[in-house]
Structure 1
Amino acid sequence: MTRCRLCGSEAMASVVDLGATPPCESFLAADQLDQPEPAYPLHLRVCTDCWLAQIPPLITPEETFKEYAYFSSYSTSWVEHARTFVDDAAARLDLGTDAFVVEVASNDGYLLKHVVDRGIRCLGIEPSVNVGAAARDAGVPTLTEFLSPDTGSAVRAEHGPADLVVANNVYAHIPDVVGFTEGLRALVADDGWVSIEVQHLLTLIEENQYDTIYHEHFQYYTVASAIRALASGGLALVDVELLPTHGGSIRLWARPAEVAGEPSQQVVDVLAREKAAGLQELSGYTEFSARVAKVRRDLLRFLITAAERGETVVGYGAPGKGNTLLNHCGIRPDLLAYTVDRNPYKHGRFTPGTRIPILPPERIAADKPDYVLVLPWNLRAELTEQLSFVHEWGGRLVFPIPELSIVEVAS
């Protein structure tokens, strides 16, 4: 990577190099196990002019999202998070039945179904054919398309301007930051609102959350770099919320620059926290690589010791982030016999690169392993409760991030 995709600067500094991995959602069918599997460098750098952290765009969104393995509705806590957001946004913005809400990257309708339940007109824009079809089957109007300035203008012309545009967990997934932001501006009414949720680079760095670095995530935002990105498309940040989702996210409330006004005190406060953490200078990034290496060593030491003792370790979940962790650590079925997932789409498939079988969740109770390695560690509270039954045979849960944690589960 020679230039920043946001500001065009060539002043790019290395943050962490995770080697080469396959795309994190490219789960393998059994008949693909003897076929070549492409892997791409996964090297995070930061622009020392605008401080946008980013990886090279080595795969395209079209390659990733036309057929997608992630269905948001399989996370109970995520669906509840979406419901709460819709309730709060409706109250905050006074959204009645005459309003129009658009969600970009609307997945399987996990969020907009709550908008439909309120009788508010809405539209999802979702590029993945399979999950978009699931949304329509659930009664959520969905357009199968990627957002661009042209798409935004076409939707606005057909449906009218949106009072609220929602873009949750997608602002990191697009290499054309400027074009996507212009698409958001094309969708939103001149006095409307844009709400964006994206992982916060501050917590990623502070909590060693390096497994959220993968090829679908082209960039990693602080509030400071998000302000620059929003401005590139004619939007201005008005407010920010700090969220616990994905290990620590920010919800950005933006408006067209002409009506935005001054940012809230919360924006000022978070910018000050980021500056104090050194994220607007190289000092905030220099130790991250060493801490990532320690996470790897600690997890491998635990898995190897368990294997030597004859103890069984299986995984829970097959999230994209888990595949960064598994590939970076070089974990294979000799150390992790299999993992399970609630999503039937993944059953009978294998994790990319590491070729670990993915089975239905019921397999854990049948096999009674000594340890369950929880790969979606960001759902720790939800999954600790879901997996409380492993206490019945003395099993324990293992969380690899922010540091190795072995947990006795209460019955």
Structure 2
Amino acid sequence: MPVKGCRLCGSTELASVVDLGATPPCELFLTREQLDEPEPTYPLHLRVCTSCWLAQIPPLIRPEDTFTEYAYFSSYSTSWVEHARRFTDDALDRLAPDFVVEVASNDGYLLQHVVARGVRCLGVEPSENVGRAAREKGVPTLTAFLDPQTGAAIRAEHGPAGLVVANNVYAHIPDIVGFTKGLRALVADDGWVSIEVQHLLTLMELNQYDTIYHEHFQYYTVASAMRALESGGLALADVELLPTHGGSIRLWARPAEAVSGHSRRVADVLDMEKSAGLRELGGYARFGERVARVRRDLLRFLIDAADEGKTVVGYGAPGKGNTLLNHCGIRPDLLPYTVDRNPYKHGRFTPGTRIPVLPPERIAADRPDYVLVLPWNLRAELTEQLAYVREWGGRLVFPIPSLEVAP
């Protein structure tokens, strides 16, 4: 599918930021039977619109192709569940909503805390398998993609929501305008919408290029997010900078008619983005060079370790890890396996690179010299989980933002 124009403003002036070649969908882990079958790949080329400054990749894969059966279960990250609990407690105490809707609610990782507080809620989750897991936890969950019609139907049946939560989904929707109108349909006229999404500023400053994959259709600054919200009848009231996923923004939006202006924090982040050059092409020019450095350093480390007879295995099988593995061309000769806490992935193979995914217990059994941590955004959590690696002199390796072999 050729690039036709910006999906937000329609401009045809799109400039290249970084071209990562072609990769398969990052969460389509292969079964053993699929190893001898063809595997489709799609170009992974990030561009930025020089009109509205939305960074984006072409919509080559439909959300329906990825999210109907999904390999990612949020609850396997202990720190992410705790992050959701803190957010829930604060939002319920401060806003006192009588009805909460979460879009892309996954396995109930967040709404389980709303249920525990006795507040009426509903999850809207397109993936049948993870939605089933949420219902098993007692979280009411509708299997659906959000669009204006779905939002209106939920409102008609359940009433407007005082709080609508959309964590790590605003980047996953190619139809930004339709999705935003769906959010507006859900929220009460005096309600709040909370959106968490990775911040393009930290993605670029910290070389987090592995978070570019086909599930993420766009990458937001606060400036481009404001324009996206406006397209669906919402306005940004406040913003928070979060450490999650390597650096995220939490956008607090309301129906446009309920907002008279934005907070000082919004103005401060807009100034930060402007100072970083993210509203001019020059700010994007050197990103590709930094990406190339990450690739060279990681490959050099793995090759040197192999030449020295050292063993390196992976920890985690996140979507971002598959961007990194495919871009670097890492195969089982350099990384014989990775492990993951999610049993859904056990016995499967990483897309493109065909690296086996095993249970975490395999690391203690094999006692490797190095463990390459692919979900580097969970560094604090995983450093604690993997502390036992030091017992035999093993070391953890973090590839992003630059190669680091922990002492």
Q: Please, what TM-score do these two structures have when normalized by structure 2?
A: 0.99
**Percent pairwise identity:** 81
Aligned residues: 405
Deviations 1:15-54 (A, max 9, x none): 0000000000000000000000000000000000000000
Deviation at residue 105 of structure 1 after TM alignment:
0.1
Amino acid at match of 2:375: P
Structure 2 counterpart of 1:188, one-letter code: V
Contact 1:2 1:12 (C-alpha < 8 Å) held by counterparts: no
Q: CA deviation at 1:2?
A: 2.7
* RMSD (Å), alpha carbons: 0.4
Task: Give yes or no for the alignment of 1:319 onto 2:318.
Answer: yes
Which residue in the other structure is 1:151 paired with? 150
Q: Does 1:407 align with 2:398?
A: no
Query: Whole-Å Cα distance in 1 between the matches of residues 378 and 133 of structure 2?
Result: 24
Structure 2 SS opposite 1:224: helix
- C-alpha distance in 1 between matches for 2:160 and 2:90: 21
Whole-angstrom distance in 2 between the partners of 1:113 and 1:26? 27
> Paired residue for 1:25?
27
1:92 positional shift? 2.1
Instruction: Give the 3-state SS of the residue equivalent to 1:33 in structure 2.
Output: helix
Question: Match of 2:39, as an amino acid?
Answer: E
* 1:334-345 equivalent positions in 2, closer than 5 A: 334-345=333-344
Alignment deviations for residues 254-304 of structure 1 (CA, whole Å, 9 cap, x no partner): 000001121000000000000000000001100000000000000000000
Cα distance in 1 for residues equivalent to 2:260 and 2:130: 38
- Structure 1 contact 347–358 (Cα < 8 Å) conserved: yes
Q: Secondary structure at the match of 2:36?
A: coil
Looking at structure 2, the residues matched to 316 and 221 of structure 1 have their Cα atoms a distance apart, in angstroms, of 28
Task: Output one character per residue of 1:287-330: Cα deviation in whole Å (capped at 9) or x when no partner.
Answer: 00000000000000000000000000000000000000000000
- What is the CA–CA distance in structure 1 between the aligned matches of 2:114 and 2:260, rounded to whole Å? 28
In the other structure, the counterpart of 2:56 is 54
Ranges in structure 2 where 5+ consecutive residues have no aligned partner: none
SS class of match (2:257): coil
TM-score (norm 1): 0.98
Separation (CA, whole Å) in 2 of partners of 1:155 and 1:261: 28
Q: Which residue of 1 aligns with 2:271?
A: 272
Q: Aligned with 2:197: secondary structure?
A: strand
How far apart in 1 are the matches of 2:107 and 2:132?
8
Residue 192 of structure 1 and its aligned partner are, at CA, apart by 0.4
Could you tell me whether the CA contact under 8 Å between 1:167 and 1:197 is conserved in 2? yes
Contact 1:53 1:220 in 2 (8 A): yes
Q: Do the aligned residues in 2 keep the contact of 1:102 with 1:166 (CA within 8 Å)?
A: yes
State the secondary structure of the residue aligned to 1:258.
helix
Give the distance between the partners of 1:94 and 1:126, measured in 2 at CA.
Answer: 24
Alpha-carbon offset, residue 196 of structure 1: 0.1
- 1:377 aligns with 376
SS in 2 for 1:385: helix
Amino acid at match of 2:168: N
Contact 1:240 1:252 in 2 (8 A): yes
CA distance in 2, matches of 1:283, 1:117: 49
Runs of 4+ aligned structure 1 residues displaced above 6 Å come to: none
Letter in 1 for 2:91: A
Q: Distance in 2 between matches of 1:302 and 1:260?
A: 52
Please name the residue that 2:132 is paired with: 133
CA distance in 2 between counterparts of 1:92 and 1:51 reads 33
Question: What residue number does 2:259 align with?
Answer: 260
Q: Distance in 2 between matches of 1:401 and 1:274?
A: 21
What do the CA deviations read for 1:124-153 (whole angstroms, capped 9, x no partner)?
A: 000000000000000000000000000000
Q: Report the equivalent of 2:82.
A: 80
In structure 2, C-alpha distance between the alignment counterparts of 1:202 and 1:92, rounded to whole Å: 29
Instruction: Work out the CA distance in 2 between the residues paired with 1:266 and 1:80.
Output: 25
Deviation of 1:182 (Å): 0.2
